[in-house]
Amino acid sequence: MMRRLATLATAAAAALALAPTATADAPQALPKHQLTGYWQNFVNNAQPLRVSDISPNYDLVALAFANADPDRPGAVTFGVDPELSEALGGYTDEQLKADIAAKKDEGTSFVLSVGGELGNVDLSSEANVASFVDSVGKVLAEYGIDGLDIDLEHGIDVDGTTSAVRQLREQVGDGFLLTMAPQTLDVQPGGAYLQLAENLKDVITVVHTQYYNSGSMNGCDGQVHDQGSVDFITAQACTLLQVLRPDQVSLGLPAAPSAAGSGYVEPSVVTAALDCLTAGQNCGQYTPDQPHPELSGVMTWSINWDASNGNAFSDPVRAHLDTLP
């Protein structure tokens, strides 16, 4: 993901026994075929947005990103980025909380994203895990956020991350949403995120692999596919479909050419990949052995880049998702 983010610190912190129980309202059920987008809590060349300005095209919003707490190693913090507030002419934490609540009343769900292009978290010790769980739980409760998005792109400790997620879910309860945004390499056979998905498949909401900034990758058809094609998406999605239910699998693509270093495709390629995976239609060289009509949907980086481009990604993709059975 395109992001400047302080590296999450790693050190001992408060024990999990002292962590408060999160009290975020239970999220509404996500639609069968959902569109997920990342909201940028920072400023770059994309259009800055208040959460209230997010297009209704989006069912699930990942708030990007949590930051390191410089005073508490291992913990994370979250609030309106000062530069974003300035760019918007003033935007406070209380206004963000109110906007999240209003969007939730309209049926939108929210997850707190941890990681990004530059972010990292070390969950290799019990103390680090406890600190992470405590701080994330507090943010979820304070802002009314429904769950966690894992976008760690610099290596993950599978066992530690598994433990952290299960402890957070125990705090929040059955309504806890869990999403992940692995890079393509991480969900190749033997990849860390594939192992994590295996560990957490009973609680995962959706995994939306980033089918961009990748280069060529092996497909489950035994062929090497270059990014930017229908086959690049579909022949990799089938690997994840061997681990997760179809309703736990989504397709991640950039919202505009400027949103990623490489891998942007026209929305027509995205909708063709959806048709291929859900109905065996509009495929490229690779056709799945069986259709998966329950496939979750699409994720995009980012809502801001989509808005900068006049919703040229979300409008047609949303419309197509609504036609799927």
pLDDT at 25 over 70: no
Q: How confident is the model at residue 72 (pLDDT cuts 50, 70, 90)?
A: confident
pLDDT of residue 20: 36
pLDDT at 7 over 80: no
Q: Which residue has the higher pLDDT, 4 or 189?
A: 189
CATH number of 16-321: 3.20.20.80
Give one word for 155, left, alpha or beta, with left for phi > 0 and alpha for psi -120 to 50. Answer: left
Catalytic residue among 142, 153, 170, 266: 153
User: φ, ψ for residue 143 (rounded to 5)?
Assistant: -100, -5
Q: How confident is the model at residue 154 (pLDDT cuts 50, 70, 90)?
A: confident
Give Cβ neighbours of residue 23 (< 8 Å, ≥ 6 apart).
141
Helix (H) or strand (E) holding 209: strand 206-210
Q: What are the structure tokens assigned to 296, written together? A: 């979750």
Whole-prediction pTM value? 0.91
Q: How many Cβ atoms from other residues are within 10 Å of residue 291's Cβ?
A: 17
Q: What does the alpha-carbon distance between residue 250 and residue 209 come to, in Å, rounded to a whole number?
A: 7
DSSP string, 8-77: PP------GGGPPPP-PPPPPPPPSSEEEEEEESS-SSSPP--GGGS-TT-SEEEEE--EE-TTSTT-EE
- Secondary structure letter of residue 294 according to DSSP: T
Rg (CA), the chain: 18
Q: Which of 16-20, 149-153, 301-305 is the least confident region?
A: 16-20
- Give the residue-averaged pLDDT of 71-97: 93
Strand pairing partners for 147? Answer: 111, 177
DSSP string, 125-160: SHHHHHHHHHHHHHHHHHHT--EEEEEE-S---HHH
Strand pairing partners for 74? Answer: none
**How is the chain split into domains, by residue range?**
16-321
Q: How confident is the model at residue 1 (pLDDT cuts 50, 70, 90)?
A: low
Q: What are the structure tokens assigned to 140, written together? A: 């979820």
Give Cβ neighbours of residue 15 (< 8 Å, ≥ 6 apart).
130
Give Cβ neighbours of residue 184 (< 8 Å, ≥ 6 apart).
209, 210, 211, 214, 217, 236
- Secondary structure letter of residue 62 according to DSSP: E
Q: How many Cβ atoms from other residues are within 10 Å of residue 197's Cβ?
A: 22
Q: How many Cβ atoms from other residues are within 10 Å of residue 251's Cβ?
A: 23
Q: Is 86 a catalytic residue?
A: no
CA torsion sign, 135 to 138 to 139 to 140? positive
> How confident is the model over 169-220, as pLDDT tens digits?
999 998 999 999 999 999 999 999 999 999 999 999 999 999 999 999 999 9
Q: Give the type of residue at 124.
A: S
Nearest partner of 121 among 70, 62, 74, 178, judged by Cα: 74
CA atoms within 13 A on the CB side of 294: 7
Nearest partner of 297 among 317, 269, 316, judged by Cα: 317
pLDDT of residue 71: 80
Residue whose structure tokens are 């990748």: 214
Contact 72, 135 (CB under 8 A): yes
Q: Which of 29-33, 73-77, 99-103, 198-202 is the least confident region?
A: 73-77
> How confident is the model over 281-314, as pLDDT tens digits?
999 999 999 999 999 999 999 999 999 999 999 9
